[in-house]
Structure 1
Amino acid sequence: MDVRRACGLFGTVSTSSISKIVFTGSRGRTYRKLPACSSFWGSPGYCGARVGFSNDDRRIGNRLRLFQVDRGSNGRSHLRAQMFDLRLNGVCKKYKVGAHGNSPKRWYRSLVSEAPPVMWALQNVSFDVREGETLGIVGHNGAGKTTILKLLSGITTPTRGEIQIRGRLAALVEVGSGFHPELTGRENIYLHGAMLGMRRSEIARKMDSIVEFSGVDRYIDVPVKRYSSGMYVRLGFAIVAHLDPDILLLDEVLAVGDVAFQAKCLERITELRKSCRTIIFVSHDLAAVYRVCSRAILLERGHVLLDGPPREVIDEYQRMTFGTQDSSGKKFDPEKEAECLNVSFSSSDMGGIRTGYPMVAHLSYRAAEIIPDAIFRISLYWPSGYLCAQFTNESSGSALTLQPGEGSIDFHCPILPVVPGFYRVDLSIETNGRELDLKQRCATLCVETGKAAPGDFYIENAWSIRSNLPSIPISIAR
């Protein structure tokens, strides 16, 4: 329904209307179905919807509560305390386990037999996402990450709780979601834009940039049912990232596609973040979450375990995933000639560990006998398992002889070459080609932004101008 003033409106709508309500509102734009700016209404306009569902709502015919948040002509709420674009309050989502349906036979069985088992995908999830914030959601498979995005995008509805959305929302939740398989890529671009309330002329102006970004220009007039999964994601991300949404939901967009496209995605997400767009980013790529997100949430079995800075959340997630090997108090293995105990990292300037700046690694070990020509290796891996750097005293020509007992060694790296992100650390000891000990996932290294490194690593360099032309004196007429 259309109303003159959205502020304070309260009513009920059926569950089938939610998907239409979610894709509404914008900062300073007018649309044919749901106008959204003061120039159209003559007053602050429609911005978004809040939906909620609880057991009490079942008494009134399985209907959801809805009210709209007032947004001014400048795209901001009149209430300074409500400067959020998304809010989840006590959201729960329940699914039935096993086969079920709506046939009369199954309905009768449900009356005379026990209720089917249920699974709670989300339990009492509450958080706010403020305007211009980039929120990363991490967690194991089945933790509820995609379920949250499906609730926000209107694909499904909450069992209990309230969801408030403020602004125009675009989502890339599943491969092929929102695409009509019989339509071409070009036609699906217009379809997505219409779902977001954009005019056809506005979509046409952005068509070339969308097609160029997606890299499917040769197949843009081919039905998308013939696209590969990678082409689906590339086109889907190009659409949602260029149609100027207020809120962008991204689920594992970096999991499909080559390295070049992943770099383009990260660059585009960074641009949207700088333009104060609200982004919810779900990914298993912890390095990408750390680089692009200003805040992160850790989900585990439908519960929010931690909400805070990306560094703290990712560190806790890695501890849950890999664990830490604490060697303090352990008895020495008599069968090992030498054993790695621990490794920690610090910066020489007492600040954070940053790209292009000095770093010190502190290693501790225990030896059963004299170990001549010992070689220590510190290996840094991306969370995906890719080895990105390895430091060893062998390459520097530093010969180390270990004495019996416990000891420590400091490794000084004058210029840290790796880019910002989280790294898994492995530590090993070798001698004469024999591996004496290997500690995998013994620590994590968080590298913060330092000197500019747009590629995969940083190299210290210097530039100068050299000219082979003879110098010619210049006379100035007076």
Structure 2
Amino acid sequence: MVAVDIAVHNVSKSYRVHRNGGRNLFRFKRAERTWALRDVSFNVQRGEALGIVGANGSGKTTLIKLLARITSPDGGDIAITGRLMSLVEVGAGFHPELSGRDNVFLNAAIFGVPVAEVQKRFDRILEFSGLADFIDAPVKTYSSGMFVRLGFAVASQLDADILLLDEVLAVGDLAFQARCMDRIEEIRRSGRTILLVSHDLAAVERLCDRVLLLTSGEMAGEGSPRDMIEKYQTSATKCLPGSNLNFDNGGIALHGVSFAGHDGARPTTGAPLSVRVSYETEVPVDDVVFTVSFIWPSGYICTELTSASATLAAGRGHVVFDCPILAIQRGLYTVDLTVTTASGRVLAKRIRAAPFRVDPGLIVQGDFYMTHSAKLERDET
């Protein structure tokens, strides 16, 4: 039987929120109770990596603070087996007037780690943080990235049984983020338990065995990382406002975009894809270029389709893009549409024109599939 390191049963947490400015000199304003979590239940088995995702205000950080015993629930039970260390907020557990060196021991002491163990691991903590030149400076002089580097180094190098991480990958440069990812993978392989809260959905999918989805303080789902991330993306996309912008009296309106896989089927990785953009123009327009941008959930452009320059007659029409292979990973994307002149002047733009779902087809490891072949060659002796 697999041991359970964390057991959460019907946990709820509320906060008092003062409306209309809190209080004045003569009386307190009326306070209302807002529920950050309601009846949340789940277990985390020993050695499991659990991700927690959801929109801002969904209760993720509140849950982590309850597990870290920073605050207490209004109702329900939390049982934790083993030594737990957490990195919940930038600078949490640090005293601003003390040096980085002193704060390493202070932070470890908060989590019950003996001084002898910290001394034994101090060089590893210092090397991982990359703060050797600043370790004896007061931490009030540290940047937010330096805070997180030192906090993560302490939490990850002291061999806690359970590690709670809240948005640790959101702060720090690319080199440090890569070290964090490698260290989390190493901790996973060692059989210890990890809880990761992050808006970096790619990191959650890579690092976690299972994911909880929170919505407005309640459990909205629990399952595989891919399924829960897609469910979260679907609900988030429905809340995104769209726009249809025309520029410089370009006279072009974008009416929509549709997608079809092979023989009209839903788009799947590795299969052909057809993208159809509908437009209308009041007058003929010369040298027009259409662009379809596929946007990651993080907001970055994944890839683009661009048409050749063409002349549009007045009236309604369509631009059809044919892709022999849809090479991007399964998941939910959003699509932006742009119409420009060949010289780059924007005539019309439709932001978040439609969601674009890619179903599983060809198995893709990573974000893209690259058409390829391979052959074996021997060196001549």
TM-score bin, normalised by smaller chain: 0.7 to 0.9
- Which residue number corresponds to residue 426 of structure 1? 336
- Which residue number corresponds to residue 450 of structure 1? 364
Higher-Rg structure is 1
- In structure 2, give the amino acid aligned to 1:88: V
Q: Summarize deviations over 1:96-145 as a string: whole Å, max 9, x none.
A: 2239xxxxxxxxx99xx998421211111111222222222222222211
Kindly, what percent of the aligned residue pairs are identical?
40
- Which residue number corresponds to residue 196 of structure 2? 281
- In structure 2, give the amino acid aligned to 1:382: W
- In structure 1, give the amino acid aligned to 2:15: Y
Task: Say which of 118, 130, 133 aligns to 2:33.
Answer: 118
Aligned residues: 362
- Which residue number corresponds to residue 303 of structure 2? 389
Q: From the superposition, tell whether residues 402 and 452 of structure 1 become closer, same or farther in structure 2 (CA, over 3 Å).
A: farther
Q: From the superposition, tell whether residues 407 and 317 of structure 1 become closer, same or farther in structure 2 (CA, over 3 Å).
A: same
Measure how far apart 1:324 and its partner are: 7.8
Task: Say which of 119, 125, 143 aligns to 1:204.
Answer: 119
Task: Say which of 189, 200, 216 aligns to 1:301.
Answer: 216
Q: Verify: 1:84 aligned to 2:4, yes or no.
A: yes
Q: Verify: 1:144 aligned to 2:64, yes or no.
A: no
Q: From the superposition, tell whether residues 428 and 411 of structure 1 become closer, same or farther in structure 2 (CA, over 3 Å).
A: farther
Q: From the superposition, tell whether residues 463 and 422 of structure 1 become closer, same or farther in structure 2 (CA, over 3 Å).
A: farther
Q: From the superposition, tell whether residues 117 and 138 of structure 1 become closer, same or farther in structure 2 (CA, over 3 Å).
A: same
SS at match of 1:221: coil
Q: Verify: 1:411 aligned to 2:302, yes or no.
A: no
Structure 2: distance between partners of 1:202 and 1:239:
11
Q: Summarize deviations over 1:316-338 as a string: whole Å, max 9, x none.
A: 3333333289xxxxxxxxx9767
SS at match of 1:218: coil
Measure how far apart 1:436 and its partner are: 5.3
Structure 2: distance between partners of 1:437 and 1:115:
46
Task: Say which of 14, 23, 26 aligns to 1:94.
Answer: 14
- Which residue number corresponds to residue 237 of structure 2? 322
Measure how far apart 1:158 and its partner are: 0.7
Q: From the superposition, tell whether residues 412 and 92 of structure 1 become closer, same or farther in structure 2 (CA, over 3 Å).
A: same
- Which runs of 5 or more structure 2 residues have no equivalent in the other structure? 20-25, 241-249
- In structure 2, give the amino acid aligned to 1:377: T
Q: Summarize deviations over 1:243-298 as a string: whole Å, max 9, x none.
A: 11221111111222222222222232233233333221112222322332222222
Q: Summarize deviations over 1:359-409 as a string: whole Å, max 9, x none.
A: 543323445589998744232333342334323244xx9x89999878684
Structure 2: distance between partners of 1:361 and 1:452:
20
Measure how far apart 1:345 and its partner are: 7.3
- Which runs of 5 or more structure 1 residues have no equivalent in the other structure? 1-79, 100-108, 326-334, 474-478
- In structure 2, give the amino acid aligned to 1:239: V
TM-score normalized by structure 2?
Answer: 0.76
- Contact 1:92 1:161 (C-alpha < 8 Å) held by counterparts: yes
- Contact 1:193 1:203 (C-alpha < 8 Å) held by counterparts: yes
Structure 1: distance between partners of 2:40 and 2:8:
7
- Which residue number corresponds to residue 292 of structure 2? 378
Measure how far apart 1:89 and its partner are: 0.8
- Which residue number corresponds to residue 259 of structure 1? 174
Structure 1: distance between partners of 2:40 and 2:63:
9
Task: Say which of 78, 93, 98 aligns to 1:178.
Answer: 93
Structure 2: distance between partners of 1:291 and 1:251:
16
TM-score normalized by structure 1?
Answer: 0.62
- Contact 2:295 2:303 (C-alpha < 8 Å) held by counterparts: yes
Q: From the superposition, tell whether residues 273 and 393 of structure 1 become closer, same or farther in structure 2 (CA, over 3 Å).
A: farther
Which stretch shifts more, 176-185 or 423-432? Answer: 423-432
RMSD: 4.3
Q: Verify: 1:270 aligned to 2:185, yes or no.
A: yes
SS at match of 1:254: helix
Q: From the superposition, tell whether residues 376 and 287 of structure 1 become closer, same or farther in structure 2 (CA, over 3 Å).
A: farther
- In structure 1, give the amino acid aligned to 2:292: I
Structure 1: distance between partners of 2:65 and 2:229:
23
Measure how far apart 1:237 and its partner are: 1.0
Structure 1: distance between partners of 2:44 and 2:285:
55
